[in-house]
Each structure stands twice: as C-alpha cells, then as structure tokens.
C-alpha cells in the first residue's frame, strides 16, 4: 500500500509568495493613503486660519449654522425613526389589505434624491405654485397656507427622503427575528404594543440605529435640498466660503467642523449602545402576523398610502408633467451633452471604485492581519464624509501638488505650466472613488464571503498564483457582486451634487449640476427633465434591493 506524502514548498516559491502578498498589501495601503490624504490636508488647514473670514462668519453665520445643524439632526432623526420603524412594523409584523404591495413600494422613495423632492415641493406648494393658486381661487385671497420655504418644510422633505434607510434595515431586522420570540411574548400575556416596545424594538436596535445613522449622515451631507430652501447649514457655508469669499482655507475649516458633528453623532450612538450585545435567532418559520381588521386595517392602509404618495407618487408625477411640457425645448444637443458627461463620469468612477474595492477585498483574504484591516477601514471611511468636505480636501491636496510640480518644472525649464491637476476631471474622479468606496466594497466583500476558501486553496495547491486565481477563478464567481457594485456606484455618482459642483472642470455640466443651476433660478420645469432621468436611474438599485429582500 502506498502512502501520499506532502511535497514541501521550495524556499524560493515561498519567498516569492510572501513578496507577492506584500505587493497586494502595499496596493491596499496606497488606496487607504489616497482616502486619508484629503482628511489630513483638511486638518492642517487649521494651522493657518483665515482670520478675516472667520471674524465675519462668527459675527453673522456661525451660531446660526450650529443651531440649524442641531435642529436638522434632532428633527430629521426623530422623524425617520418614527416613520421608518412604524412602517417597517406594519409591513413586517401586521397583516392588512395591500401589505404585499406596500412591503416593497415603500422603498421606492430611495430613488428620488432629496434635492429633487425639495424643488418639487417648493414648486408645487410655494405661494405662486398651483396648490396655493387654486386655493386662493376657491377660498379667496385671505386663505392661509403654511409656508413651504421654512424650517418645517426642509425637515419634512428630508424625513420623506431619508426614512427608507430606517425602513429597509428595521424591516429586515423584524423579519429575521425568530417567530418563537413573539410566540413567547404572547404566551406571557404581552399584547401587540407591549411586544413591540419590550421585545421587537430592543432586539432590532442595532439595525434601527444603523438606519438612523445613515439618514443623519445624508442630512449632514445634503447640499441641494437646503439650497432650495435657502436654509443655511455647513454645506452651504462651505460653498459660500469657497465661491463667495474665495477662501479655500475657510472652507476647509468649516469642513472640519462638519466632520466634528459627524464624529460626535457616531460616538454618541456608540455610547448609548454601551456594552450591549445582541443575538437573534434567524426566523426559519412562517411569521405569525397580527391581523388588522376594521378601522385598524383602514388606518394602516391610509398611513402607508399617504407616505408613498407624498414621498414618491406625487413628486414623480409632477416631474413627469413638467418634463413633458418642456421636452421639446430642453431635449436638445445641450441636454445630450449633460447626459453624456454624467454617463462618462459615472462609468469611469464605477470601474475605478469597483477595481479598488476588489483589490481591498482580495488583499483582506490573502493577508487578514491588523495592517490590512486598518487599511480596509480607512479606505471605506469616505461614505461618511459629505461630498463638499471631500471636494475641499481634494482641491487643497491638488493645489499643494500643483505648486510642487510647477516649482520643479520652473526649476528645470524656467517656465511654469499653471494648474495641472486642479480643476481637472481627475480630481473629480478621485473624489468619487473616495466617497463611494464603501458602496462598492460591501457587495464585493459579500460576494467573496460566498466563495468557499477550500476552492481557492485547491487552486493554490495546483500551482496557480494570486493574480491567476483572481483572474480565472474569483472574478467569474464574483460576477453578481461586481455588477451590483458597478451599478450602485454608477447611480450614486450620477446623483452626487456637491462634489461635482465644487470640483467640475470649467464648462462641464452634469444632470445634477443642471438641476442646481435651474432651481437656483426658480426654473422648476426646466429642472424636471434631468430630475426624471436621475429618478429612473435611481430605480435600478432599488429594484436590486427589493429583489434581494424578496429572497
């Protein structure tokens, strides 16, 4: 009887493999350095504060900025919490007419950017809009209507725009809870409300907190919606400091203050959670839903219908009417150029970001040591950073690089080239990659988790190198994750407004910046066609989310 013996790996091959892994880790560290560089540059901006601009800001705007930001955080956070958790409980744990429809339809507002919902609300509900005009014709000129251009108006729009983040995660958490947990609560005599507050919500708290945190990040990062309402926040102040006072340093310092708000919000949520640990038995049986009848069923249908109408159906219908009225004037060569610029930036940024995410995830599989883990965490920080903050950091980084490039060229040739990287498409693409790295990394890393490690080990034992394993084995098995990452980043880049507005090269207009230009002038109808295009594009990732949720 013969016995199989393991063949020792030659020392040269082992050394080459270590060097190869080292190169992969070096590449992942370079990606982390690219993400961290704008933040370091922003932090260094405090070494040389612009005293005159800061004196003006402190005398006129600073206290108002802090107050408005705090009001938005508290109000929008409370609103999305109540709306998202309440609707998630209805669709996941209750049975009423239309539940199957509302279950997925309430995710559709994710496709409508907040700034699109904002200008539709102002265009329809403002004093000169159709609603107030009709009311004055019916009830006389003395009829009172709450002003839409108000603090309450911007809060309502943001709650309707961002509640799906909480709804989506809370609903998933409710569905994944073990049905035995609710059965035990019923046996112990708890009614529906008591089981909701004492069992379901505490167990789903991590998912709910994550959804609220996402909504608050989007609130802090928003520029378009608050601009439509003329509601000053740190994002609008950054824009004014840059283009109004022409002070990039003051814009950088305001960006760091905005980051301080974000870090404080994240730290506060972690402190509130404390040392709690959560364990959930995944639901493996049919959920025993509370059957609503009579007035309760009617109230559930009305609540879900009103939210869906206000957040999706009515805004999209109004956009379609406006776009149909001006399509003959707006659908011309200029619009096609805006659309082409948007597609170009979205496609290039999606490919670059997905490739970088693939590199990070594969390196993490090859060498999951603390250094690689830190590189991954740093590289995926960008999604927590508002586009305006990243734009300032990227611009200051490129200004510094351009200065040194011109100094070297001038020393060699006696002439300076001027701006090489500043104001280029490359700076815009870099901001997109940094901003949306986490968006691409999630689907790619999840797809990697579904590949059995034994498959890769067998390929390595057969003599395949890391690059060959990635090219011939991993990438074909990662098709779904890679396509999801490409699609999600593509759509996010199409909708991104502040970074595009601040970093775009001269003469470059995208669909998002076209909407900003038209809404700044009150041309709601002319902003409708690019808005409809963005909404249709935004429906693609929502469809993906709904399909995954159904599975």
Domain boundaries, the chain: 60-306, 331-520
Top-level CATH class of 331-520?
Answer: mainly alpha
Strands annotated E in 27-102: 94-95
Q: Flag whether pLDDT at 15 surpasses 60.
A: no
Q: What pLDDT is recorded for position 465?
A: 67
Mean pLDDT of all residues in 198-203:
74
The mean per-residue pLDDT over the stretch 264-292 comes to: 61
Q: Is the pLDDT of residue 173 over 70?
A: yes
Q: Hey, do 60-306 and 331-520 end up sharing a CATH topology, with the first three levels equal?
A: yes
Q: Which pLDDT score is estimated for 1?
A: 40
Residues whose CB is less than 8 angstroms from the CB of residue 69 and which lie 6 or more positions away in sequence, other chains included: 220, 233, 234, 261
| Parallel/antiparallel/unpaired status of strands 94-95 and 290-291 | parallel
pLDDT at 8 over 50: no
- Between 537 and 275, the higher pLDDT residue: 537
User: For the segment 460-486, what is each residue's pLDDT rounded down to a tens digit?
Assistant: 676 666 677 777 777 787 787 888 888
Residue 106 in contact with residue 167, Cβ under 8 Å?
A: yes
The closest alpha carbon to 501, from 252, 229, 227, 291, belongs to 227
DSSP for residue 94: E
What is the reported pLDDT for 5? 40
Strand partners, 290: 94
Within a 10 A sphere around the Cβ of 112, how many other Cβ atoms? 25
pLDDT, tens digit, 9 for 90 and up, residues 515-535: 998 988 888 888 999 999 999
Do residues 350 and 489 touch, judged by C-beta distance below 8 A? yes
The greatest distance separating any two alpha carbons of the chain, rounded to the nearest whole angstrom, comes to: 103
Low-confidence winner among 49-63, 82-96, 383-397 (lowest mean pLDDT):
49-63
Overall fold of domain 60-306: MetI-like fold (1.10.3720)
Mean pLDDT, residues 340-366 taken together: 89
What is the overall mean pLDDT for the chain? 80
Asked if 168 and 280 count as a contact pair (C-beta separation under 8 A), the reply is no
pLDDT bracket for residue 19 (50, 70, 90): very low
Average of per-residue pLDDT across 483-505 = 86
Q: How much is the pLDDT for 2?
A: 41
- pTM: predicted TM-score of the whole model, two decimal places: 0.81
Quote the CA–CA distance of 451 and 457 in Å, as a whole number. Answer: 11
Pull the structure tokens for residue 182.
């609710």
What pLDDT does residue 492 have? 86
Tell me which of 15-19, 186-190, 245-249 is least confident.
Answer: 15-19
């Amino acid at each position: 009887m013969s016995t199989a013996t393991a063949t020792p790996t030659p020392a040269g091959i082992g050394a080459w493999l270590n060097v190869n892994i080292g190169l992969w880790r070096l590449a992942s560290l370079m990606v982390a350095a690219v993400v961290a560089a704008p933040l370091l540059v922003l932090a260094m901006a405090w070494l040389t504060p612009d005293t005159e601009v800061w004196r003006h800001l402190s005398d006129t705007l600073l206290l108002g900025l802090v107050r408005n930001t705090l009001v938005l955080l508290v109000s929008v956070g409370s609103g999305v919490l109540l709306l998202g958790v309440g609707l998630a409980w209805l669709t996941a744990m209750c049975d009423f007419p239309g539940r199957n429809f509302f279950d997925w339809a309430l995710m559709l507002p994710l496709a409508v950017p907040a700034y699109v919902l904002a200008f539709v609300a102002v265009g329809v509900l403002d004093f000169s809009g159709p609603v107030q005009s009709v009311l004055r014709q019916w009830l006389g000129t003395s009829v009172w209507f709450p002003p839409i251009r108000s603090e309450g108006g911007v809060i309502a729009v943001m709650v309707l725009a961002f509640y799906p983040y909480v709804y989506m995660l809370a609903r998933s958490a409710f569905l994944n809870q073990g049905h035995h947990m609710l059965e035990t609560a019923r046996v112990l005599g708890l009614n529906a409300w008591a089981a909701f507050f004492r069992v379901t919500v505490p167990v789903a708290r991590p998912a709910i907190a994550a959804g609220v945190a996402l909504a608050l990040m989007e609130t802090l990062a928003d520029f378009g919606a608050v601009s439509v309402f003329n509601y000053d926040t740190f994002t609008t102040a950054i824009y004014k400091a840059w283009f109004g006072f022409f002070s990039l340093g003051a814009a950088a310092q305001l960006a760091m203050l905005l980051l301080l708000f974000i870090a404080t919000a994240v730290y506060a949520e972690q402190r509130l959670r404390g040392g709690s640990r959560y364990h959930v038995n995944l639901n493996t049986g049919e959920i025993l839903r509370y059957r609503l009848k009579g007035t309760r069923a009617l109230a559930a249908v009305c609540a879900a219908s009103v939210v869906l109408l206000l957040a999706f159906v009515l805004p999209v219908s109004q956009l379609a009417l406006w776009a149909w009225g001006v399509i003959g004037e707006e659908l011309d060569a200029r619009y096609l150029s805006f659309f082409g610029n948007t597609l170009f930036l979205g496609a290039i940024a999606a490919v670059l970001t997905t490739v970088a995410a693939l590199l990070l995830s594969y390196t993490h599989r090859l060498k999951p040591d603390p250094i690689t883990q830190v590189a991954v965490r740093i590289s995926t920080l960008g999604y927590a950073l508002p586009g305006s903050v990243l734009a300032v950091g990227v611009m200051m980084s490129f200004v510094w690089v351009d200065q040194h490039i011109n100094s070297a060229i001038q020393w060699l040739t006696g002439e300076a080239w001027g701006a090489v990287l500043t104001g280029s498409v490359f700076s815009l693409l870099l901001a997109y990659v940094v901003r949306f790295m986490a968006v691409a990394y999630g689907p790619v890393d999840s797809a990697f988790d579904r590949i059995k490690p034994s498959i890769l080990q067998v390929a390595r034992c057969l003599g395949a190198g890391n690059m060959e394993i990635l090219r011939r084995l991993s990438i074909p098995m990662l098709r779904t994750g890679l396509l999801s990452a490409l699609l999600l980043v593509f759509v996010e880049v199409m909708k991104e407004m502040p970074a595009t507005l601040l970093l775009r090269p001269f003469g470059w207009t995208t669909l998002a910046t076209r909407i900003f230009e038209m809404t700044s002038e009150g041309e709601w109808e002319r902003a409708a066609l690019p808005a409809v295009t963005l909404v249709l594009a935004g429906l693609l990732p929502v469809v993906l989310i709904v399909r995954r949720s159904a599975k």
